[in-house]
Amino acid sequence: MQNLLEIRRRLHQIPERGFEEWKTKKLIEETLASFPQQHLEVFSWRTGFIVKIKGTHPTKTIAWRTDIDGLPIEEQTGLSYASQHAGFMHACGHDVHMTVALHLVEALAERPAKDDVLVYFQPAEESPGGALPMLSWVKEQHPELVPDEFYALHVAPELPVGVISTKPGILFANTSELYIDLHGKEGHAAFPHRTTDMSVAAAHLLIQLQSIVSRSVDPLQPSVVTIGKMTSGTVQNIISGHARLEGTIRTFDAAVMTQIKERIEAICRGVEAAFDCRVAIDYGSSYHQVYNHHELAEVFRDFAVQDPDVTYSEAKEAMTGEDFGYFLAGIPGVLFWAGAQTEYGLHHAKMAPDEAMLPVTAQFVERWIRSRAE
Ligand X SMILES: CC(=O)N[C@@H](CCC[C@H](N)C(=O)O)C(=O)O
Annotated binding residues for Mn(2+), written as ranges, equal: 92, 94, 126, 154, 347
Residue 120's nearest CA partner among 174, 31, 56, 53 is 53
Provide the 8-state DSSP code for 160.
P
Choosing from 18, 70, 147, 321, the residue that interacts with ligand X (CB under 6 A) is: 321
Does 322 sit near ligand X (CB under 6 A)? yes
Nearer to ligand X, 49 or 287 (CB): 287
Buried b (16+ CB within 10 A) or exposed e, 50-73: bbbbbbeeeeebbbbbbbbbbbeb
Choosing from 61, 99, 127, 240, the residue that interacts with ligand X (CB under 6 A) is: 127
Q: Is 67 assigned a catalytic role?
A: yes
Choosing from 1, 206, 227, 346, the residue that interacts with ligand X (CB under 6 A) is: 346
Which residues are known binding-site members? 92, 94, 126, 154, 347
Q: Which one of the spans 5-13, 53-61, 252-260, 315-323 is the region binding ligand X (CB under 6 A)?
A: 315-323
CB of 344 to ligand X, least distance (A): 13
Nearer to ligand X, 180 or 373 (CB): 180
Site for ligand X in 42-71 (CB under 6 A): none
Binding mask 280-309 for ligand X (x = CB under 6 A): -------x----------------------
Count of residues interacting with ligand X (CB under 6 A)? 12
Does 168 sit near ligand X (CB under 6 A)? no
Cα–Cα distances (Å) from 336 to 126, 183, 288, 302, in that order, read: 17, 43, 16, 14
Find out whether 275 and 196 touch, Cβ atoms under 8 Å. Answer: yes
Nearer to ligand X, 28 or 92 (CB): 92
Provide the 8-state DSSP code for 153.
E
Distance CA 140, CA 142 (A): 6
In the set 16, 115, 116, 126, the catalytic residue is 126
Distance CA 267, CA 214 (A): 14
Nearer to ligand X, 154 or 370 (CB): 154
Q: Is 126 assigned a catalytic role?
A: yes
Does 126 sit near ligand X (CB under 6 A)? yes
Cα–Cα distances (Å) from 34 to 55, 94, 102, 369, in that order, read: 20, 21, 11, 22
Site for ligand X in 75-94 (CB under 6 A): 92
Helical ranges in the chain per DSSP H = 4-12, 22-33, 94-110, 131-141, 198-211, 254-275, 294-306, 324-330, 357-372
Find out whether 64 and 117 touch, Cβ atoms under 8 Å. Answer: yes
Measure the N-to-C terminal CA separation of the chain; round to a whole number of Å.
24
Chain residues binding ligand X by CB under 6 A are: 92, 126-127, 154, 175, 177, 248, 287, 320-322, 346
Catalytic residues: 67, 126
